[in-house]
């Protein structure tokens, strides 16, 4: 997998593309990226700015953290459920 470009570089390329002073293919060539990469960056920028529907980077990160937290809570709940069952069996008269 290729090394990702720094976010500052992406933002600069998108800003130049948004000015519309040159074609997207020329801008991509000048910056040494593929045209499809530039289209993707423009699409992601539209999502981040709210011009296009989609999941923003912040929402995606929050969702990832919430899923991680949910998984941990489910594991803790399962441990407590098993412990309760164990102690319930131990307290029965023999």
| pLDDT classification of 84: cutoffs 50, 70, 90 | very high
**For residue range 49-64, what is the model confidence (pLDDT) as tens digits?**
999 999 999 999 999 9
**For residue range 5-16, what is the model confidence (pLDDT) as tens digits?**
999 999 999 999
Instruction: Give the dihedral of Cα atoms 63, 67, 68, 73; nearest 10 deg.
Output: 140
pLDDT score of 54: 92
pLDDT score of 64: 97
- Residue 94 scores a pLDDT above 70: no
Residues 19 and 62 in one domain: no
pLDDT score of 70: 98
DSSP codes, 32-80: T--HHHHHHHHHHHHHHHTSS-S--HHHHHHHHHHHHHHHHHHHHHHHH
**For residue 36, how many other CB atoms are within 10 A of its CB?**
9
Task: Tally the domains of the chain.
Answer: 2
CA-based nearest residue to 35, from 20, 22, 25, 45? 25
Task: Give me the CATH number covering residue 8.
Answer: 1.10.10.10
Residues 64 and 44 in one domain: no
Residues 10 and 40 in one domain: yes
């Amino acid at each position: 997998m290729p090394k990702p470009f720094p976010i500052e570089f992406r933002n600069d390329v998108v800003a130049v593309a948004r000015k519309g002073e040159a074609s997207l293919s020329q801008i991509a060539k000048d910056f040494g990226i593929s045209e499809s990469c530039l289209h993707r960056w423009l699409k992601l920028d539209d999502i981040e700015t709210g011009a296009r529907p989609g999941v923003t980077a912040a929402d995606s990160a929050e969702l990832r953290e919430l899923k991680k937290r949910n998984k941990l809570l489910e594991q803790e709940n399962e441990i407590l459920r098993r412990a309760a069952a164990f102690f319930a069996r131990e307290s029965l008269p023999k």
